[in-house]
Amino acid sequence: MGSAREAEGEISPATWTPGPIIVGAGPSGLAAAACLADVGIPSTVLEKSSCVASLWQHRTYDRLRLHLPKQFCELPLMGFPKGFPKYPSKQQFVSYMESYAAAFGVRPRFRTEVLAAEFDGAIGAWRVRTRDGGELVSRWLVVATGENAEPVIPEFPGMERFGGRVVHTCAYKCGADFKGEKVLVVGCGNSGMEVSLDLCRHGARPYMVVRNTVRVLPREMLGLSTFGVSMALLRWLPLRLVDQFLCAMAHLLLGDTDRLGLRRPKTGPIELKNLTGKTPVLDVGALAQIKSGNIKVMQGLKEMTTGGAKFVDGTEMQFDSIIMATGYKSNVPSWLKGDCGLFTKEGMAKDPFPGGWKGEKGLYCVGFTRRGLLGASHDALNIARDVLLRWKEPRHMAMR
Ligand SMILES: Cc1cc2nc3c(=O)[nH]c(=O)nc-3n(C[C@H](O)[C@H](O)[C@H](O)COP(=O)(O)OP(=O)(O)OC[C@H]3O[C@@H](n4cnc5c(N)ncnc54)[C@H](O)[C@@H]3O)c2cc1C
Ligand SMILES: NC(=O)C1=CN([C@@H]2O[C@H](COP(=O)(O)OP(=O)(O)OC[C@H]3O[C@@H](n4cnc5c(N)ncnc54)[C@H](OP(=O)(O)O)[C@@H]3O)[C@@H](O)[C@H]2O)C=CC1
Ligand SMILES: O=C(O)C(=O)Cc1c[nH]c2ccccc12
């Protein structure tokens, strides 16, 4: 790895780190570092941005709140501060992340992007190369770069012709930036729904594109969180029955969403989440705006034009801006060499929750089983337990 440059003194020689190297200082990386610290194992956290929880700080919209009640979004060993509301705001979540890192003495190396990580069989350890030219070596590598590392921006015919703004939801902050505009929102997942709602609240006119089926559930049912109720019911009832119950409640509380252009999938919400990873939309008000016509639902975007877009049904409309609410992808395939049994070629965990956190040769991942913060907490605790089992073995001195 870059020996000529190394000879010229451009990069420092490999640095052996005694504990695991954790890539990413989002909630997952912090949880892993905290759980390791708790059992007395030091770790080195490498983070490409300049802060913890950079997704939350820099790549989410202002009005974002947790979707699930706070007890389902806590990281291990330290809960949310007393007095936080049931659904903490983005600012509250970020302040919790900062206190969490401080409480466990986690000090990530910021502005340190990992460009490549590879297991070196000769030394029985991982070589991790960073953009600043450094190389770190450890027996353990914990991947914590997230399922939402990069925006997905599909290519639509004519996209280059469109004269207005095209923004992905990761760069969307507030509807005030679009006041008075006619805005096309592509995608109807949680981001598409919430951004459309935010646009409405700030005097913009959103048109939301739905290309497929979508499952919308109320965030709460009779004062109880839908997520919490589902978790409780799953302890006693088979999944299919819980799904039937959720669908019946959604129909009762939200009405027939098919009539609004939001066709429901045949598969129930939990089964769909388990099979495809697709999270149901938890409604926080967008549906009421769709019903009242303030958010217009469009079926199938065909192409973009100079001044707007054409749809599959042949209609053509003018738009001032287009917001891509088309989701995210992992960046693991771009830097991790060799999946060690852990990752799909898309960089997601191969095994479904709860098993997918442990690979071969000291490779782990945290936060990749499409189970949000709850899943990440589970992974982090398991990883710390597993590393601890081998921490005291002399083999971790293999490099010396
Ligand atoms: C808008 C939005 C809202 C969400 N709301 C919820 C919710 O309410 N509840 C819930 O449970 N889940 C929610 N999620 C799911 C989300 O995945 C988690 O909230 C959480 O942020 C995942 O944490 P993470 O640490 O795995 O990933 P991230 O938060 O994405 O953190 C990964 C970190 O790795 C860094 N990184 C990436 N690549 C590299 C590299 N090559 N080198 C060094 N560093 C790198 C990034 O800069 C980032 O800081 C939401 C997701 C989104 C997009
Ligand atoms: N408050 C909260 O807690 C929030 C949580 N989140 C979470 O963040 C994660 C990411 O959510 P989100 O950003 O909504 O992404 P998702 O991947 O959930 O949704 C992407 C949407 O874009 C559509 N899409 C993708 N490609 C195309 C295309 N080529 N043409 C037309 N439509 C397309 C998808 O349609 P299709 O279904 O047909 O593929 C889908 O409707 C999720 O886990 C979500 O739950 C997001 C916002 C708020
Ligand atoms: O918002 C997300 O995407 C999450 O990961 C949290 C979440 C919302 N609904 C869920 C259903 C099952 C597992 C996690 C979630």
Q: What is the pLDDT of residues 131-140, one digit of tens each?
A: 999 999 999 9
Task: Give the residue whose CA is nearest to atom 34 of ligand 2.
Answer: 187
> Would you call 75 exposed, middle or buried from its count of C-beta atoms within 10 A (0-12, 13-18, 19+)?
buried
Gap from CA of 372 to ligand 3 centroid (Å): 5
Nearest atom (ligand 2) to Cα of 188 = 41
Nearest to 68 by CA among 290, 183, 293, 219: 219
Gap from CA of 187 to ligand 2 centroid (Å): 6
Q: How confident is the model over 199-211, as a mean pLDDT?
A: 97
Beta bridge partners, 225, equal 220
Q: What is the mean pLDDT of the chain?
A: 94
Determine the Cα–Cα distance for residues 49 and 325; give it in Å rounded to an integer.
23
Q: Is the pLDDT of residue 188 over 80?
A: yes
User: What sign does the dihedral 282-286-290-291 (CA atoms) show?
Assistant: positive
Least confident of 3-12, 223-232, 241-250: 3-12
Q: What is the CA radius of gyration of the chain?
A: 23
Least confident of 2-6, 35-39, 284-288, 393-397: 2-6
Q: Is the ipTM of this complex over 0.95?
A: yes
Task: Give the residue whose CA is nearest to atom 18 of ligand 2.
Answer: 189
Q: Is the pLDDT of residue 10 over 60?
A: no
pTM (2 d.p.)? 0.95
Locate 98 and state its tokens.
């900062």
Nearest atom (ligand 2) to Cα of 284 = 1
Residue 340: predicted pLDDT: 78
- Per-residue pLDDT tens over the stretch 315-335: 999 999 999 999 999 999 999
Gap from CA of 355 to ligand 3 centroid (Å): 18
Task: Give the residue whose CA is nearest to atom 11 of ligand 3.
Answer: 279
Residue 329: predicted pLDDT: 97
Locate 108 and state its tokens.
């990530």
Nearest to 145 by CA among 49, 36, 67, 39: 49
Q: Is the pLDDT of residue 15 over 50?
A: yes
pLDDT-derived band at 394, boundaries 50, 70, 90: low
Least confident of 184-198, 201-215, 353-367: 353-367
Place of tokens 């089926």: 213
Determine the Cα–Cα distance for residues 374 and 66; give it in Å rounded to an integer.
12
| N-term to C-term CA, the chain | 20
Task: Give the residue whose CA is nearest to atom 16 of ligand 1.
Answer: 372
Compute how many other C-beta atoms are within 10 angstroms of the C-beta atom of residue 236: 8
Residue 98: predicted pLDDT: 98
pLDDT-derived band at 226, boundaries 50, 70, 90: very high
Ligand nearest to the CA of 147: 1
Nearest to 141 by CA among 370, 356, 341, 358: 358
Q: Is the pLDDT of residue 8 over 60?
A: no
Locate 29 and state its tokens.
């990386």
Report how far Cα 51 is from the mean position of its chain's Cα atoms.
Answer: 17
User: In testing the pocket of ligand 1, which one of 87, 373, 383 has its CB within 8 Å of the most ligand atoms?
Assistant: 373
Instruction: Report the alpha-carbon angle 219-222-224, nearest 5.
Output: 60
User: In testing the pocket of ligand 1, which one of 66, 145, 369 has its CB within 8 Å of the most ligand atoms?
Assistant: 145
Task: Give the residue whose CA is nearest to atom 6 of ligand 3.
Answer: 372
